A and B are shown apart, each in its own frame.
Chain A
């Protein structure tokens, strides 16, 4: 979800940019091994949620730039909605808890 959300901002990004962006925006709270990004990207490629095209970085290095497909965008919407439902439910339960105390 995070990857899709990151990519759906518009411009295509390569692996390091994605990892860096997620780290930066989550202010370093979400810390995972960065390598796990790559199986995740491959899984999404396989499911046709994203496309990966080889391009050049600013320093003229070869890198694969990922962008979401239409199916990927729909998937993101579904996931965001599910996430919203869950957080609503959780915050509802939490609110009940604090109200009762």
Chain B
């Protein structure tokens, strides 16, 4: 092979060498013959005779080395390029169509690959398992029927929860796992020399890094005893933190840092690029890992579901058998501890699937849509190639009549198709890279690992295979047909100006397929657009404009109890109210869309009337700040304090669900037997706490002044401003620091920004699918136009005769539109069937819209029909304006 290649690159020199050898041979022979006494010319010719046909032997040698094949290929290539250059319109459309399809596909494929296919950055990632618990208790049914207990799991909305620490040992004992580790977010206030900073951190069990199989680049991991209560405070930090905050100092391992006011000794520095499963590929970065020293009550509690769990499967254990072992364990626990574990079921999934689970459907839908685009593009190119081949039947038959071989003819057509395929592929990959950049730039936060997306050889090869296969198959089909035709027949039909009927049928079928595929995409895009506009129309129930929210997390070391925290917030409120531009100030455990707390209660002392509403501890200014109107009773006021009667405000949904719509004022709730009775003093309107996609839930607002009664921590601040809320951020922070100079202010966001971020993923999907739909429509228009324009040009003679025989232009228009109508009509019917079948998969992406939403279907059909008719317009008018004299003289 190597010799062949080398000889190819030097074939001219080689040929010359061989010719030289042969010349020498004949010369020497001639001389030899002359020495034997032959006369000059006789010797010359005898030597030639004896040598034989030198040209033939040279050809043999050239075949031997495979040069001639290359030569013919190059010749085909040159000829093909010339032919394509002579039809710039066709070439551009074909190459661009392919490029568009492949580019979109390459970009989406890379993105999906980065998010879903690439292995996790831990050793043996396939053995890593995410473990959680599911609460199978029916939410409201429990309240209504708990006395009978017969409704087990009937209205089962299964809710996923984190894991109770006390269950961990039992899960470990299930035998499926080598080990399992618990971890949880633990943001910490870093103080010391620089500005106070709230840093992302995690509290992990001491075996966390060994389960992930990650070793620190410097220092050590946690020791087993270090996650026990009372152990030394130690921390492991990321490479980024070490460089950013510790200046990359060599002696960092002996240093201590102040976290939440306590001194932690740094024992390890993680390798660069390490990310915890909690923030894998996300923008947020957890930089400090401390040991989770769970307090004794938590260690004993099977009711507090607090921690995330990652486990490593034992080698050779399958996910299915681990799941079986785990479910056996949770059944046992349910029997042993019915009061806490009756409804709790352990669940697990490979860590990678769990991490990508949320965006999986969306990405798969996008992948499917981009696949459809590729299909449409390929169909289009196939169509164009066939139209072109049909248009060149005359040329082909002439060439064949003049003696060129069938094989040669096919090779020529195929080379042309492959040229288009290669061009489309190259342009497509270039486009794909550009799209890829755009895609990662506009991708919303929260799609794990998308920013690591990049083209790799898989994308390249898939694109190349698609491009070349399409062009080869659809270049070959017409090439084969062309080569099959008898030259005489072909010449005759060409003279009559008719395309082959089988080709016409093929083209029609391809165009119908294209219309159908476009309709599917349009319906999908339409459904998402309808979802999005429905979502935009959802009323949150609270006003998001002119409100800025931020976290002021008070560390336990400085603010040990509710009273201390309340004092801080009351002081802060007074200071902020004095600022110009501040309308009102709210503080709470959490503002809407920033997390929350829910707790089980029972109503009016009746332990049978259970419910699980959302709980918030809020100050009197909360409702004004968030624009939640008071509908009855009273709001919180100065009369409510830690020593007065505990009071609450509920929302309408609370009254609707728990009191059959009756007036809740005067009723009371309790968080447990023996817990203080909380009297309901007011009613406010409903809000969607978790955003537009969330449900309206029963809410109980507790009085912030009474938080010392509840296990809830004031930590979130919101300020309603007169002007741009962002302009007050510095002033607000300064007031915080005036009270406590070491207190970080974090998570600063306007409520509008939060809402916007919450819908960004959906907007991203909708935007992409809408763009895909648009591309599909453009491609379909090109397809329809191509087929009709071609068929009109082929029927010029026929149309000419019709006009000559008295057909009005309207009749001709009708003829062409009938063709177009048939194409579009059949395509739409086929597409409808496909759309009904495929949009089911979009269901989870839709918001309050059924996959069979007639408006989306109607709009898609209308749009496609309209552009289809528009595409038919130019060919139809050309057909109608045929001059019979010219048309008939054409042949």
Q: Which residues of A contact B (CB under 8 A)?
A: 14-16, 19-20, 33-39, 42-43, 45-46, 48, 54, 57, 61-64
Contact = CB atoms under 8 A, between A and B. Distances in A.
Report, nearest first, the 8 A-B pairs whose CB atoms are least far apart. Answer: A33-B52, A35-B52, A39-B60, A16-B28, A35-B57, A35-B51, A16-B25, A42-B61
Contact of A15 (B21, B52, B56): B21
Contact of A64 (B4, B17, B53): B17
Contacts of B434: none
B563 interface: no
B265 interface: no
Contact of B18 (A33, A42, A57, A61): A42
Interface string B1-15: 001100000000000
Interface residues of B, number: 23
Interface in B20-74: 20-22, 24-25, 28-29, 32, 50-54, 56-57, 60-61, 64-65
Contacts of B21: 14-15, 38, 63-64
Nearest to A42: B61
Contacts of B28: 16
Contact of B25 (A34, A39, A43, A62): A34
Given A14-B24, A63-B24, A38 B3 contact: no
Given A16-B29, A45-B3, A34 B52 contact: yes
27 contacts: A14-B24, A16-B24, A16-B25, A16-B28, A16-B29, A20-B32, A33-B52, A33-B53, A34-B51, A35-B22, A35-B25, A35-B51, A35-B53, A35-B54, A36-B57, A38-B18, A38-B21, A38-B22, A39-B61, A46-B4, A46-B64, A54-B17, A57-B24, A62-B20, A63-B24, A64-B17, A64-B21
A8 B61 CA distance: 23
A31 to B, nearest CB: 9
Contacts of A42: 18, 61, 64-65
Given A15-B25, A46-B65, 8 more contacts: A15-B22, A19-B25, A33-B51, A35-B54, A38-B61, A39-B64, A42-B64, A46-B4
A64 B19 CA distance: 11
Nearest to B56: A35
Nearest to B20: A62
A62 B51 CA distance: 19
A43 B20 CA distance: 18
A16 B52 CA distance: 14
Contacts of A16: 24-25, 28-29
Contacts of B60: 39
Contacts of A54: 17
Contact of B50 (A14, A34, A43, A48): A34
Contacts of B32: 20
A19 B885 CA distance: 74
B57 A39 contact: yes
A74 B437 CA distance: 60
Nearest to B23: A61
Contacts of A36: 52, 57
A94 B440 CA distance: 85
B727 to A, nearest CB: 81
Nearest to B4: A46
A43 B22 contact: no
Contacts of A39: 57, 60-61, 64
A20 B35 CA distance: 14
B396 to A, nearest CB: 35
Contacts of A15: 21-22, 24-25
B242 to A, nearest CB: 59
Interface in B723-741: none
Nearest to A45: B3
Contacts of A14: 21, 24
Contacts of B57: 35-36, 38-39
A58 B55 CA distance: 28
A36 B51 CA distance: 8
B3 A48 contact: yes
A62 B65 CA distance: 23
A11 B709 CA distance: 109
A29 to B, nearest CB: 15
B108 to A, nearest CB: 47
B351 to A, nearest CB: 54
The listed residue with most B CB atoms (<10 A of its CB), out of A16, A43, A48, A57, is A16
B256 to A, nearest CB: 72
A83 B50 CA distance: 28
A33 B48 CA distance: 10
Interface in B354-388: none
A57 B27 CA distance: 13
A94 B18 CA distance: 43
Contacts of A38: 18, 21-22, 25, 57, 61
Interface string B612-630: 0000000000000000000
Contacts of A19: 25
**Counting chain A CB atoms within 10 Å of each CB, which of B28, B51, B64 scores highest?**
B28
A54 to B, nearest CB: 7
A79 B17 CA distance: 29
Contacts of B50: 33-34
B24 A46 contact: no
A98 to B, nearest CB: 38
Contacts of B17: 54, 64
Contacts of B22: 15, 35, 38
A39 B4 CA distance: 15
Contacts of B52: 33-36
Interface string B816-853: 00000000000000000000000000000000000000
Nearest to A18: B25
A33 B52 CA distance: 5
B6 to A, nearest CB: 11
A55 to B, nearest CB: 12
A9 B57 CA distance: 27
Interface in B381-410: none
Contacts of A33: 50-53
Nearest to A17: B28
A56 B54 CA distance: 23
A63 B18 CA distance: 10
Nearest to A47: B3
A35 B58 CA distance: 9
Interface in B750-786: none
Nearest to B25: A16
| From B24, B56, B64, residue with most partner A Cβ within 10 Å | B24
Contacts of B25: 15-16, 19, 34-35, 37-38
A37 B29 CA distance: 14
A4 B29 CA distance: 22
Nearest to A57: B24
Contacts of A20: 32
A17 to B, nearest CB: 9
Nearest to A62: B20
Contacts of B24: 14-16, 57, 61-63
Contacts of A64: 17, 21
**Centre residue among A34, A46, A54, A62 by max chain B CB count within 10 A:** A34
Interface string B248-261: 00000000000000
Nearest to A32: B52
A37 B64 CA distance: 14
A46 B18 CA distance: 14
Contacts of B65: 42, 46
A88 B25 CA distance: 36
B129 to A, nearest CB: 56
A27 B54 CA distance: 25
B583 to A, nearest CB: 90
B51 A46 contact: no
Contacts of A63: 21, 24
B601 to A, nearest CB: 89
A34 B4 CA distance: 25
A61 to B, nearest CB: 6
Contacts of B20: 62
